[in-house]
Amino acid sequence: MFSVLKKIRLPQPLEWRGDKVRLLDQTLLPLEEVYLDITDYREMATAIKELKVRGAPAIGVAGAYGMALGGLQIKARSKASFLEKLHAAAQTLAGTRPTARNLFWAIERMEKAARNCGRVAEIKQALIAEAVKIHETEVDNSMKMSRKGARLLKSGCRVLTHCNTGPLAAPGYGTALGVVIYAHRQGKKVHVYADETRPLLQGARLTTWECQKAGIPVTLITDNMAGWLMKRGEIDCVIVGADRIAANGDTANKIGTYSVAVLAKEHNIPFYVVAPTSTIDLSMKTGDEIPIEQRKPEEVTHIGGIRFAASNVAVVNPAFDVTPARYITAIVTERGIIRKSFEDGNLKFPIRIRQ
Ligand code: MRU
């Protein structure tokens, strides 16, 4: 399975191993490469919550495998009882991270696959097959998005990224960083500026590591340096991923993305979003409807378990923000590139999205 992954030689976040999931613990990277074997859907829910596996498409695949593990754990005589127990597992997994659409997309697909089975005996295998299919689909989507998006990058370009959007976040090549990796492999000269991405430093820890693995020149900056670099003419485009895209193109992504988008507009720099259609949520008309995950204060007051802020200080810690569609130059998906319409400045969705 996944012979294509062998060929692309990039670190992958997780792998199905017959009756368990082997998962690369992203909280320990880049200092330690530790793999965890997950056999219980509750362990998978904890791994998602604690960001051992993270990034919207990877969370979706992890959720699907969590459901497959849940299925293997169920003891039930009737289909109705099996589906009821599976739904309880679905709720546990869905309760981990509210913003990434991919998680809910994957869980809904898994429950549908179970419902479509005739007998209890078939359901467990059908769940595994569906989870593997979701994984394969996301790998394929990643390759297609990367190829399509690479057309937007000229040789010599300096690309600003936010958070982590490479293969660790989206199996295959990744989303935004996948585009850069693809362009680099086409022989284009590209240079990545990676925002460190406070509070959990996915840019500093994961993006720099992935770029080094892929042989792409990368410069790490703190989040508050982006405006200065743009003003000096040192950034040619911004490429980010997405956790959920509303029907009007408003895009939820890692906290800080909105600030980068506003800066890009001020400096007339193209701002691209790269995401599979599994991230698009047509049930939400605008970004105002997207649920934003709030995380614990310690992520802001501490780094590496060490407190540096005054004790008991009030903290707010939204994990994501929403960038209005008017700041986005184009959204790259596996099905094509969605561009801004010149009439109303908003993004148009000319491609048909099956949800
Ligand atoms: O909290 P995280 O690390 O899961 O946030 C990840 C991001 O915000 C990514 O930019 C996003 O998932 C899109 S790219 C896979």
CA atoms of 150 and 182, how far apart (whole Å): 6
Pick from 177, 174, 179, 170: nearest CA to 57: 170
Residues paired with 302 in a beta bridge: 307
Q: Is the pTM above the cut of 0.75? A: yes
Per the CB < 8 A criterion, the answer to whether 16 and 131 are in contact is yes
By most ligand atoms within 8 Å of CB, the mutation choice from 53, 104, 138, 163 for ligand 1 is 163
Residue 69 in any domain: the answer is yes
Per the CB < 8 A criterion, the answer to whether 165 and 240 are in contact is yes
Residue 257: which CATH number?
Answer: 3.40.50.10470
Question: 54 CB under 6 A from ligand 1?
Answer: yes
Task: Let me know whether 131 and 225 are in one domain.
Answer: no
Distance (Å) from CA 164 to ligand 1 centroid: 6
**Alpha helices (H) in 208-280, listed in sequence order:** 208-214, 226-231, 257-266
Task: Let me know whether 168 and 95 are in one domain.
Answer: no
The atom of ligand 1 lying closest to the CA of 279 is 13
Last residue of a domain, one of 144, 162, 191: 144
**What pLDDT sits at residue 2?**
73
Task: Let me know whether 138 and 176 are in one domain.
Answer: no
The count of residues in the chain is 355
Domain that holds residue 162: 148-339
Pick from 204, 127, 207, 220: nearest CA to 170: 207
**What pLDDT sits at residue 228?**
98
Residue nearest to atom 10 of ligand 1 (CA): 241
By most ligand atoms within 8 Å of CB, the mutation choice from 25, 61, 104, 164 for ligand 1 is 164
CA atoms of 274 and 267, how far apart (whole Å): 21
Question: 148 CB under 6 A from ligand 1?
Answer: no
Q: Give the total number of structural domains in the chain.
A: 2
Q: 318-328: per-residue pLDDT in tens?
A: 999 999 999 99
Question: 13 CB under 6 A from ligand 1?
Answer: no
Task: Let me know whether 129 and 198 are in one domain.
Answer: no
Residue 352 in any domain: the answer is no
Question: 290 CB under 6 A from ligand 1?
Answer: no
**How many percent of the chain have pLDDT more than 90?**
91
Question: 60 CB under 6 A from ligand 1?
Answer: no
Last residue of a domain, one of 144, 162, 184: 144
Residue nearest to atom 8 of ligand 1 (CA): 254
Residue 187 in any domain: the answer is yes
Task: Let me know whether 86 and 183 are in one domain.
Answer: no
DSSP H or E run through 44: helix 41-49
Q: 230-270: per-residue pLDDT in tens?
A: 999 999 999 999 999 999 999 999 999 999 999 999 999 99
Q: Give residue 157's pLDDT band: very low, low, confident or very high (50, 70, 90).
A: very high
Task: Let me know whether 94 and 13 are in one domain.
Answer: yes
Task: Let me know whether 152 and 119 are in one domain.
Answer: no
- What's CA 333's distance to the chain center, in Å? 13
Task: Let me know whether 133 and 210 are in one domain.
Answer: no
**What pLDDT sits at residue 303?**
92
Catalytic residues: 243
